[in-house]
């Protein structure tokens, strides 16, 4: 999200804006995992996940937070924890 805000005209990381319940079901149980290898698999894709899956989900999580808090500035949301962004952005609702 930060990349898109700072450099809106540059195509950097590809983002898939779809909410795919099949992929989400594969990773939801790993949200609090500290397993480095699993985290890298989710971020970069692999083992049945599309390329850059974690980047796309991270982007959508922050976007969901911003949609619920349109007055927030990058300085506000870059200082939040992932848990705060996830919960206050009501991200899980996208998969219900």
Chain Cα centroid distance, residue 96: 16
Residue spans per domain, the chain: 19-95
What φ, ψ does residue 2 adopt, rounded to 5°?
-60, -45
- pLDDT score for 37: 95
Contacts of 48 (CB under 8 A, 6+ apart): 23, 26
List the pLDDT tens digit at each of the 96 positions of the chain. Answer: 767 777 778 777 778 888 999 999 999 999 889 999 999 999 999 999 999 999 999 999 999 999 999 999 888 888 899 999 999 999 999 998
- pLDDT score for 64: 95
- pLDDT score for 35: 95
Global pTM reads 0.86
């Amino acid at each position: 999200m930060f990349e898109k805000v700072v450099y809106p005209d540059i195509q950097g990381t590809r983002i898939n804006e779809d909410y795919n319940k099949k992929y989400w079901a594969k990773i939801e149980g790993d949200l609090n995992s500290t397993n480095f290898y699993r985290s890298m698999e989710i971020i970069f894709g692999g083992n049945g996940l599309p390329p850059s899956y974690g980047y796309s989900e991270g982007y959508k999580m922050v976007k969901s937070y911003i949609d619920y808090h349109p007055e927030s500035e990058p300085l506000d949301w870059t200082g939040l924890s992932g848990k705060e962004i996830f919960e206050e952005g009501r991200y899980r609702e996208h998969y219900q």
